[in-house]
Chains A and B, each alone.
With several copies, the nearest count.
Chain A
Amino acid sequence: MSSKFGNKVMTANEAVKQFVAKDSVVGIGGQTTGRSSMVLAHEIVRQGISNLTLVGCSMSVSMDLIVGAGLANKTECGTGNVEMFGTTFAWRRAIEQGKLVSKDYSHLSMGLRFLAGSLGIPFIPIKSMLGTDLLEQRSEKESKDIVISEDPWNPNTPVVLLKALSPDVSIIHAQLSDETGNVVIEGFTTHDVEMAKASKRVIISCEKIIASDEIRRRSDRTTIPYLYVDAVIEQPWGAYPTSCYRYYEHDSAHFRHYQSCAKDGGNKYEEYLNLYIRGTRDFNEFLSKASNAKDLINLQKSMQELV
């Protein structure tokens, strides 16, 4: 991270080029149908940055795309899930085919690993996962980030110790940021704040860049202070087809389209990647291929009715 009050605004292309290296551990923000940084996930696919480990809680299509493009060889998460729209099919297939190592945790376990990272403490205890195969039946290929220990104040009482997790870089979508990286996430934050603070680098995509003066006038809204942030990308609709609270609903039609390609895999999935990502210059071009003004306005209207 950078401690400087500098202007960190750049394009997604520049940010990914500068901060996402081959072999990185990449933190994935958002959950299921909400507030995933699709613009940054697309850019990772576009640049073909490989051998990634993707970490998060409930990882959605942003993770699935990177896995589907063959760029990840490990995930650590609680679930791959798009709820109403099914599981994350590229991820599922990669695991079933032995192409991806999945380190399985409960959601709180992942959340606490990030919390520990954000506080600079080496590990953190939890009382979840006890008695289950989340502790017993773990992949042999993985590093051992879980230890079963004893509560020093309650002898013979087992407690699970989780190793802190500090991603090399996290990609997070937010509603607002100023150009130095003071970030405002509105609505649920899931694990994003702790993950950002735990990360060595943070790239923020946001709907809108606001003046630092606006941050300072209403500082109770700031969820991630600039200290943790390295790059700020202004990308309206940057979470599409997932939703962005107060801005737009998720796009069910595009979700279903993606899911049908991901479920089928093979050529159909490659066509999706080629048409929408590899074949587009940037996220705006993707948006114009994937949707149209009328439908986007409807997604905005639909959100306005809910907040």
Chain B
Amino acid sequence: MNLFTLDELMVIEASRYITNGDVVMVGTGLPMVASLLALKSHAPDMCYVVETGPVAPDVIPTPTSVADARVMHRSVTNGSLIGALGGILHRGLADVGFIGGAQIDQFANVNSTVIGNYSNPKVRLPGSGGANDIASHAKKILIITRHELRRFPLYCDYITSPGYIDGPEGRKNAGIPVPYPDIHVVTNLSVMSINKTSGKLTLSKLMPGISKETVLSNTSFNPDSGIPLQEVAPASEQELKTLRDEVDPKGIYIKRV
């Protein structure tokens, strides 16, 4: 078996939710790492779309932002924000979108705006950026985050990006164009996915060597459905090699073992 960290496996597992040919809205950070890994391994015809405009670049590792020349390299167009978030995402062409945030609640709603009260904040966070747009319009939503108790409250202090809002029909009732998207939250401990019957995040996989109890004790809501859990497939030699040699060769985003 190959040696890898759970941080590595987290992005590798996330990359597996991308299918070849998918149009993927990608920001920066770990979503970029997971998308590049998919692009350079099993999804060479994936279309990488950056909210600043670039479409289908041959990304040079490792970009530091959505404004980095590395995400414009050999794109088919460098476009505009409205071209990417409007003409592709809002237009309904995005198969997959990555978002992130400080809090993810039981309905997969995400908070990237504020900890505490909006009008009297404890900590002000960066805000939506394109995340609300992505969560509203992508057919599949992927979230990569380290699994810590404070990141998984029962309810978000503020809903920046919609999960299932308050239940299975929450998005539909609110008028969100994609009413029943797949949502997967991939962490260093587990994978939680939306159960479309309950509209809630449900534990579907555990990371190797991680117990269900560890996940539950790091989650404020109860994602346990009682069904037997798969283990996340270990990182293959190819996945690891691509991640380490081609995607993040300097270890900027994922620390080395």
Contact between A108 and B81 (Cβ–Cβ < 8 Å)? Answer: yes
Stretch with Cβ within 8 A of A (4 or more), from B128-136, B190-198, B203-211, B238-246: B128-136
Please give, as numbers and ranges, the residues of chain B lying within 8 Å of A225 by CB-CB distance: 55-56, 76-77, 79
Contact between B47 and A189 (Cβ–Cβ < 8 Å)? Answer: no
Stretch with Cβ within 8 A of B (4 or more), from A10-18, A115-123, A270-278, A282-290: A115-123
Partner of A242, one of B67, B119, B120, B159: B67
Please, which residue of chain B has its CB at the minimum distance from the CB of A303?
A: B69
Please give, as numbers and ranges, the residues of chain A lying within 8 Å of B119 by CB-CB distance: 139-140
A152 close to chain B: CB less than 8 A: no
Contact between A133 and B160 (Cβ–Cβ < 8 Å)? Answer: yes
Please give, as numbers and ranges, the residues of chain B lying within 8 Å of A34 by CB-CB distance: 52, 65-68
Contact between A104 and B127 (Cβ–Cβ < 8 Å)? Answer: yes
Please, which residue of chain B has its CB at the minimum distance from the CB of A104?
A: B127
B251 close to chain A: CB less than 8 A: no
How near does chain A come to B251, taking the closest CB pair, in angstroms? 13
Please give, as numbers and ranges, the residues of chain A lying within 8 Å of B67 by CB-CB distance: 30-35, 188, 190, 242-243, 250
Binary A-proximity of B114-147 (CB < 8 A = 1, otherwise 0): 0000111111111111111100110000000000
Contact between B75 and A245 (Cβ–Cβ < 8 Å)? Answer: no
User: Considering only CB atoms and an 8 Å cut-off, how many residues of chain A contact the other chain?
Assistant: 87
Partner of B82, one of A5, A115, A137: A115
Contact between B69 and A307 (Cβ–Cβ < 8 Å)? Answer: yes
Contact between B79 and A227 (Cβ–Cβ < 8 Å)? Answer: no
Contact between B129 and A182 (Cβ–Cβ < 8 Å)? Answer: no
A21 close to chain B: CB less than 8 A: no
Stretch with Cβ within 8 A of B (4 or more), from A37-45, A47-55, A73-81, A257-265: A73-81
A194 close to chain B: CB less than 8 A: yes
Binary A-proximity of B159-191 (CB < 8 A = 1, otherwise 0): 111100100001101111100000000000000
Partner of B65, one of A32, A87, A182: A32
Stretch with Cβ within 8 A of A (4 or more), from B8-16, B87-95, B217-225, B229-237: B87-95
Are A107 and B133 CB-contacts (below 8 A) given A5-B45, A197-B87, A222-B76?
yes
Contact between B126 and A190 (Cβ–Cβ < 8 Å)? Answer: no
B29 close to chain A: CB less than 8 A: yes
Binary B-proximity of A267-307 (CB < 8 A = 1, otherwise 0): 00000000000000000000000000000000000010011
Contact between B91 and A33 (Cβ–Cβ < 8 Å)? Answer: no
Q: How far is the CA of A107 from the CA of B126 in the complex (A)?
A: 12
How near does chain B come to A197, taking the closest CB pair, in angstroms? 5
**How large, as a class, is the contact surface on chain B?**
35 or more
Contact between B127 and A77 (Cβ–Cβ < 8 Å)? Answer: yes
Please give, as numbers and ranges, the residues of chain B lying within 8 Å of A98 by CB-CB distance: 120
Partner of A31, one of B52, B77, B95, B159: B52
Contact between A120 and B90 (Cβ–Cβ < 8 Å)? Answer: yes
A92 close to chain B: CB less than 8 A: yes
Contact between B128 and A107 (Cβ–Cβ < 8 Å)? Answer: yes
Partner of A220, one of B78, B86, B171: B78
B199 close to chain A: CB less than 8 A: no
Contact between A130 and B113 (Cβ–Cβ < 8 Å)? Answer: no
Please give, as numbers and ranges, the residues of chain B lying within 8 Å of A6 by CB-CB distance: 45
Stretch with Cβ within 8 A of B (4 or more), from A202-210, A211-219, A230-238: A211-219
A24 close to chain B: CB less than 8 A: no
Please, which residue of chain A has its CB at the minimum distance from the CB of B173?
A: A131
Partner of A3, one of B70, B95, B173: B95
Partner of A79, one of B79, B120, B126: B126
Contact between B136 and A127 (Cβ–Cβ < 8 Å)? Answer: yes
Partner of B74, one of A106, A186, A219: A219
A134 close to chain B: CB less than 8 A: yes
A111 close to chain B: CB less than 8 A: yes
How near does chain B come to A250, taking the closest CB pair, in angstroms? 8
Contact between B80 and A188 (Cβ–Cβ < 8 Å)? Answer: yes
How near does chain B come to A191, taking the closest CB pair, in angstroms? 5
Contact between A131 and B165 (Cβ–Cβ < 8 Å)? Answer: yes
How near does chain B come to A288, taking the closest CB pair, in angstroms? 25
Q: How far is the CA of A197 from the CA of B132 in the complex (A)?
A: 22
Supply 5 further A-B pairs (C-beta < 8 A) apart from A32-B65, A225-B56. Answer: A34-B65, A80-B127, A131-B165, A131-B171, A219-B77
Closest 8 A/B residue pairs (Cβ)? A34-B67, A131-B174, A158-B175, A106-B132, A120-B91, A79-B129, A188-B52, A188-B53
The interface of chain A, by Cβ under 8 A from chain B, is 1, 3-6, 30-35, 57-58, 77-84, 87-88, 92, 95-96, 98, 102, 104-109, 111-112, 115, 118-121, 126-134, 136-137, 139-140, 157-159, 182, 186-191, 193-194, 197, 212, 215-217, 219-220, 222, 225-227, 242-243, 245-246, 249-250, 252, 303, 306-307
Give me 9 A-to-B residue pairs in the complex whose CB atoms sit less than 8 angstroms apart, sorted by A's number: A1-B93, A6-B45, A111-B81, A119-B91, A127-B136, A140-B119, A188-B66, A191-B80, A219-B75
